[in-house]
Structure 1
Amino acid sequence: MSGPPFAPACLISGEPARGAWDFGAGIVPLNHGSYGAVPRAVTELQGRMQARADRSAIGWFPHTPAWVAQARAGLAGFVGAAADEAVVAAFTRAIGPRTKLVVVDQITSPTARILPTARIADVAHAAGARVLVDGAHAPGLIGDAARVAGGDWWFGNLHKWPSAPRGSALLVTSAADRDELWPLIDSWHARLSYPERFDMQGTLDVTPYLASPMAIGWLEENYGWARARATMTANADAAADAVAEAVAPYLDGVGFVRLSVHLYTTAADIDAFNDRAVPLLVEWSREPGAGRPAPS
């Protein structure tokens, strides 16, 4: 790889970050942004929780509301319950007197562009519209993501960059009518106010949520979130340069390749992508329709 060096991430212990995740032999993980990847320490904690629930359901489910409340308090600090003028102008033109709700990405999924959601929210609120910020990719990539978003409602996934178990996410709202939010499953806590009425929904497995504070704490203790953001950003830039260099001889026009770079990503992963995936992308781009091949 030429261009900026791809810096291998090591934990505070000095061990390579890659070793904290259990990937199958021969697997090159480059799509963390879609499905995430959970560190071994967090999956072990979740497994212990699930085993405890299986050993004694009556000793587990009645206590989950209190544990969920503890997890919610622990996660709140993580999300913190230069504006792009062209984007703001586009929303300003689109929002009119009939606009009731604006839904906007905090980080766009296909291009990883950070949108000026607080500025957009100001425009929408001035027009009498409310704003829902889709912060699916924001936790872990943007510090205090919920606080800086500026919407009436914000939600973000924890299974992506925070590497929490799948199924864990956060909803943060300052809306005056937030007490009108109800879970899809009515249960014993239905008479409680928001958010407590969400804390017990039948026999829903809440272990992903309960293990989420550990996932966030584990990375902070073993690497540091500010340092992690800087490392992932630098290595994503290095990976982008390497892939651009690999596809440049074949590219006629504009193309997009989405790569997700986490702490466990190595330069060897990017080299493997260039060696194996780039030739396939070039081959597919030359097929009629230039789209993804149909599944066989």
Structure 2
Amino acid sequence: MSETEVAVAPHPLLLADGSPAADAWSLDPALLHLNHGSFGAVPLVAQERQAELRAEMERAPVAWFPELPGRLAATRAELAGFLRVDAGDLALVPNASAGASVVYNALTRRRGGEIVVTDHGYGAVTMGAERLARRWGGRVRTARVPLDAGEDEAYEAVVAEIGAATDLVVVDQITSATARRLPVGRIGAEARRQGVPMLVDGAHAPGLIEAPLDGATYDFWTGNLHKWGCAPRGTAALVARGPQRDLLHPLIDSWGAGEPYPDRFDQQGTLDATSYLAAPTSLDFVGRTWGWAAARRYMDLMADHAARVVGAAFTGLTGEDSRVDVGMPVPGMRLVRLPEGLGRTRLEADALRDRAARELGVEAAFTSFGGIGYLRVSAHVYNTEADYERFAEKYVPVLADWARRPTC
């Protein structure tokens, strides 16, 4: 990407009638929404579709639930097309962490009970790996990957931890706290060569990466469709390839337990599955309105512009360099270094997120890595240049003041 491209914000995306993209969402205009990456945002058409499905369910529940497995199988085929995977490899789960838990529950110790993770791993998934290691009587080995590490350095850092005692490797495709990619394809190929299964946490990948599983060697992959895909929350995919997929079962046993993978996931008792059924509506809306390639391009350019504008505002006030060198950047997300003293730990970053929402009306992601706090920019199609200029002008000075006077 050239300097010319990042110096100018992209023109705001519009709906077919010429109105702003944000009009397709129900986001409160009184709040500043700068954190699509954490929980997503559901367009109105998908909210309406889910409401229709719920109404149908409540009108005739005795008819609804017996027919549900067939409808879910058809939905899986649609979602598999979006991800470019075989529908027979894809099961529906509530979120990426649930997908990881399904894998953890299925695997057995075959070697020394060691699990390799990275220091960029999502906390809930890493805690699940730690619990599994305790159950196995093994331990977790953490690969330390510098934030600015390129592909080769990141690959070497992870594979150096794989050994004769390794029973599982868990690696993020896109890291949550640090907004970078990891070379999961290369790592997966090496893990396969050594006979070690690998779980890829692709929570942020659907929508940000065109075909996140293309050309890579994965045993298990799980990704959220309710983040960048804008599906109703509680919609994620678990993709499993190879013989070990037959070990995977839903976290709750139901009448489909005797069915093969992934059909057994389609029957979950009285689970409200309307989020799954409405997910294609969200994906289709973005695809028909702007096209996913154009949407990704817009999000990437907007994130670049946001990091430049907000980073310059922090630097102008504090004199500290707010730029962040991320070794393998991703579309749509960027890091801006916070002033010294803000968000140095996960708990401090979470407290800062909550305070900004409560006192400023700003929905933003604050993260930490290596004792340094960051603002994680995550733009979507409804964000505009004005959002980040408003944040830089009105709220960056407040955050700089909080850094000087760190009280809550």
For normalisation by structure 1, the TM-score amounts to 0.92
Deviation at 1:123? 1.8
Rounded to whole Å, the distance in 1 between the matches of 2:9 and 2:280 is: 32
* Residue of structure 2 in register with 1:5 after alignment: 9
Note if 1:60 corresponds to 2:64: yes
**In the alignment, what sits opposite 1:71?**
75
Matched-pair contact (CA < 8 Å) for 1:7–1:235? no
Residue deviations 1:26-48 (CA, integer Å, cap 9, x gap): 12111110010000000000000
Letter in 2 for 1:32: H
Q: CA RMSD in A?
A: 1.7
Report the residue type matching 1:211 in the other structure.
A
Matched to 1:246, the amino acid is A
Deviation at 1:253, TM superposition (A): 5.5
Deviation at 1:173, TM superposition (A): 0.9
Q: 1:109 matched to which residue of 2?
A: 176
Are 2:75 and 2:280, in contact at CA under 8 Å, matched by a contact in 1? yes
The 3-state SS of whatever aligns with 1:100 is strand
Count of paired positions: 288
1:39 to 37, 43, 46: 43
Partner of 1:17: 21
Q: Does 1:90 align with 2:208?
A: no
**Runs of at least 5 residues in structure 2 that lack an aligned partner in the other structure:** 1-5, 86-149, 323-336, 338-373
Give the one of 279, 298, 303 matched to 1:212: 279
The alignment-based identity, stated in percent, is 45
Deviation at 1:183, TM superposition (A): 1.1
SS at match of 1:228: helix
State yes or no: 1:238 paired with 2:356.
no
In structure 1, the partner of 2:386 is 268
Deviation at 1:74, TM superposition (A): 0.2
Given candidates 215, 233, 238, the residue that maps to 1:166 is: 233
Task: Report the CA distance between 1:143 and its aligned residue.
Answer: 0.8
Per-residue CA distance 1:38-92 (angstroms, 9 max, x = gap) = 00000000000001111111121111101100110000011122x8111111112
Match of 1:224 among 288, 291, 296: 291
- The AA in structure 1 aligned to 2:188 is A
Deviates more, 1:244-253 or 1:168-177: 244-253
Counterparts of 1:148 and 1:277 in 2: how far apart (Å)? 43
Equivalent residues of 1:36, 1:163 under 8 A apart:
yes
Which residue pairs with 1:286 in the alignment?
Answer: 404
- The equivalent residue for 2:126 is none
Comparing 145-154 with 41-50, greater Cα deviation is found at: 145-154
Residue type of the alignment partner of 1:182:
H
Matched, 1:182 2:249: yes
1:217 aligned partner, one-letter code: D
Q: Is the deviation greater in 4-13 or in 21-30?
A: 4-13
Q: Is the 8 A contact 1:146 1:172 kept in 2?
A: no
What is the Cα deviation at residue 165 of structure 1? 0.1
How far 1:124 sits from its partner (Å)?
1.5
Higher RCO (CA-CA < 8 Å; seq separation 6+): 1
Instruction: Tell me which amino acid in the other structure corresponds to 1:68.
Output: L
Partner of 2:320: 252
C-alpha displacement at 1:6, in angstroms?
3.7
Larger displacement relative to structure 2 (247-256 or 66-75): 247-256
1:144-167 CA-to-partner distances (Å, cap 9, x unmatched) read: 113345321001001100100000
